Amino acid sequence: MESAEIVRRFLRFFEERGHTVVPSASLVAEDPTLLLVNAGMVPFKPYFLGQRKPPYPRATSAQKVIRTNDIDEVGKTTRHASFFQMLGNFSFGDYFKEDAIPFAWELLTKPQSEGGFGFAEDRLWATVYLDDDEALDIWHKKAGVPLERIQRRGLADNYWHMGVPGPGGPCTEIYYDRGPEYGREGGPVADETRYLEVWNNVFMQFQLGAVRGKEDFDIVGELPAKSVDTGMGLERMAAILQGVDNIYEIDTTYKILNRAAELTRTRYGRNHRSDVSLRVIADHMRAGVMLVGDGVIPSNEGRGYVLRRMLRRAIRNLRLLGAGEERYMHELTDVTISVMGRQYANLTVDAANIHTVIDAEEASFLGTLRTGTAIFDVAVEENKRKGSTTLSGAQAFQLHDTFGFPIDLTLEMASEQGLQVDEDGFRRLMAEQRAMAKADAAAKKTGNADISVFGDILEKSGKVDFLAYDHTSAEATVVGLLVEGANVPAVGAGSTVEVVLDRTPFYAEGGGQLSDQGVIRTDGAEVEIVDVQTPVAGLIVHRGKVKHGEIRIGDHAHAEVDVERRRAISRSHTATHLVHRGFRNALGESAAQAGSENSPGRFRFDFTAAGAVSPTVLRDVEDEVNAVLINDLKVNAFYTSQDEARAMGALALFGEKYGNEVRVVEVGDYSRELCGGTHVASSGQLGLVKVLGEGSIGAGVRRVEALVGIDAFRFLARESVLVSQLSEQLKTPKEELPERIDGIVTRLRTAEKELERLKSAQVLAVAGELAGQAGDLDGVSVVTHRAPDGTSADDLRKLALDVRGRFPSDRATVVVVAGVPSDRPVVVAVVNEAGRDRGLKAGRLVSVAAKTLGGGGGGKDDVAQGGGTRPEAIGDALRAVEESISSALS
Annotated binding site for Zn(2+), which residues?
573, 577, 675, 679
**For residue 215, how far is the Cα from the chain centroid?**
31
Dihedral (CA of 626, 627, 633, 639) sign: negative
- Number of Cβ within 10 Å of residue 216's Cβ equals 9
* Whether the Cβ atoms of residue 126 and residue 139 lie closer than 8 Å to each other: yes
Q: What is the DSSP letter of 549?
A: E
Expressed in angstroms, the distance from the first to the final Cα of the chain is 90
- Number of Cβ within 10 Å of residue 404's Cβ equals 18
* Whether the Cβ atoms of residue 337 and residue 354 lie closer than 8 Å to each other: yes
Pick out the residues of the known binding site: 573, 577, 675, 679
* Whether the Cβ atoms of residue 161 and residue 167 lie closer than 8 Å to each other: yes
* Whether the Cβ atoms of residue 449 and residue 49 lie closer than 8 Å to each other: no
Within 733-873, residue ranges assigned H as helices are 737-765, 767-772, 793-805, 833-837, 842-852
Phi-psi region of 314 (alpha: psi -120 to 50; beta: other; left: phi over 0): alpha
How buried is residue 1: exposed, middle or buried, by Cβ count under 10 Å (0-12/13-18/19+)? middle
How buried is residue 612: exposed, middle or buried, by Cβ count under 10 Å (0-12/13-18/19+)? exposed
Whole-number Å distance between alpha carbons of 788 and 816 = 14
> Amino acid identity, residue 332?
L
How buried is residue 680: exposed, middle or buried, by Cβ count under 10 Å (0-12/13-18/19+)? buried
Encode burial over 733-743: b for 16+ CB neighbours within 10 A, e otherwise. eeeeeeeeeee
* Whether the Cβ atoms of residue 882 and residue 777 lie closer than 8 Å to each other: yes
Q: What is the DSSP letter of 130?
A: T
- For the chain, helix (H) and strand (E) counts, in that order, are 26, 34
**Degrees to nearest 5, angle at CA 540 with 537 and 545:** 150
Q: Output the DSSP codes for 587-631.
A: H-TT--EEEEEEETTEEEEEEE-SSPPPHHHHHHHHHHHHHHHHT
- State how beta strands 775-777 and 465-466 pair: unpaired
* Whether the Cβ atoms of residue 289 and residue 354 lie closer than 8 Å to each other: yes
β partners of residue 682: 634
Q: Which residue, 412, 326, 328, 430, is CA-closest to 373? A: 412
Dihedral (CA of 75, 78, 82, 83) sign: positive
Q: What is the DSSP letter of 652?
A: P
Whole-number Å distance between alpha carbons of 827 and 862 = 14
Residues near 388 by Cβ (< 8 Å), separated by ≥ 6? none
Whole-number Å distance between alpha carbons of 138 and 160 = 20
Whole-number Å distance between alpha carbons of 826 and 342 = 67
Residues near 371 by Cβ (< 8 Å), separated by ≥ 6? 403
Residues near 15 by Cβ (< 8 Å), separated by ≥ 6? 21, 60
* Whether the Cβ atoms of residue 821 and residue 792 lie closer than 8 Å to each other: yes
